[in-house]
Amino acid sequence: MTEQPTPGWAFLVARGRRKGYQSLLMPEFLVQGNEYGALGQLSSSDQPGSAPRISRIEGLASGDLALAYVTYRLTPADLAGTPAVGPVTDEFGRPLELLYGVVCRGLDIIGLDDSDLATAHIEALQTYQRFLADESGFVLASAQPFALRSITAPMPVRQPAPVPPQQPPLGLLEQPEFIDQPPVRRRPPYVPILAIAAVAVIALIAGISVLGGDDGKISKVDFVAPTTNRISCDSPVKIQAKVTADKATTIQYHWESDPDLSAEEGNSVVELKLPKGDTIIETTVDLSDEANPTGLTQSFVIDSANDNTNVDHRYQLTCR
């Protein structure tokens, strides 16, 4: 009996010259189940050319997934002879980078074969070329399965948390046998006070350790792309920025709109303490009062942080 090959699917998350990061190519079963957002939230601070990452996503209705992915920087040769010919940077001069890879459903990837990433690279690049040719009209593409050459293994079964043993009813507890005990020596009344004071000092030190350490830096800022490219400007639109800090830190930021709109928080500067990792910051803008709106550019501006940065991150929306 011939063993059936393990199927794999390519995926791609990238931004365009004008559009922010979004899902461009996803496995067909995730598109049908509307669960591709789990991969669309992937982010990587790896430099292009770094070793592939292998990770796992659990708890989806479509099943647990194993992923292998890399960050790739576009080159002029990738666009040669295609309708998407143009600069390999976005409108702000940033290099265009692709986060692509393969998805394995229900199995772990324990031995990655480079040919699987090569297959995903071809499909991702073709999809990205179509996206650059028409960013506003591009529709999420569904990836079809191909035979993986990587070594896979069953995912370990997650064990349920142990249930603590039940205590017998109070009335069934054995009664202790009373025996003569030596007289208890009373402690001076100031001992509990000293103990309480010691606990308070320890708690204060712990609080300083938890609340302190405000010396992190912002390592990345991305806009969270909406789930569809077809955005109506007849109703309020929610825009989210994902800010990544390498440690806990405090930033000052504000939102700006072009054309100038009365967004939440306006242009006022907000101070916010960020934990380590990703934090979602959102605002809402409304173009319904504008005459014949065509779109807007929404900016997330970091006024100050520990590394004294002043960065303007912009995201464009087109009305439909």
Domain span at residue 90?
Answer: 7-154
Do 11 and 135 share a domain, yes or no?
A: yes
Sheet holding 295-304, edge to edge: 270-274, 249-258, 295-304, 311-318
| Domain end (from 154, 184, 199) | 154
Residue 112 falls inside a structural domain: yes
Average pLDDT, the chain: 77
Q: For the residues 173-196, what does the mean pLDDT come to? A: 48
- Whether the per-residue pLDDT at 193 is higher than 60: the answer is no
The number of distinct structural domains making up the chain is: 2
Give 309's DSSP letter.
-
The tens digit of pLDDT for each residue in 210-245 reads 334 567 788 788 767 554 445 566 667 777 778 888
The 10 Å CB-count burial string (b at 16+, else e) for 24-63 is bbbbebbbeeebbebbbbbebeeeeeeebebeebeeeebe
Q: How confident is the model at residue 128 (pLDDT cuts 50, 70, 90)?
A: very high
| CATH code of residue 254 | 2.60.40.10
In a domain, 43, yes or no: yes
Same domain (yes/no): 136, 244:
no
Domain co-membership, 141 together with 34: yes
**Predicted TM-score of the model (pTM):** 0.51
3-state secondary structure of 82: coil
**127/12 Cα distance (integer angstroms):** 8
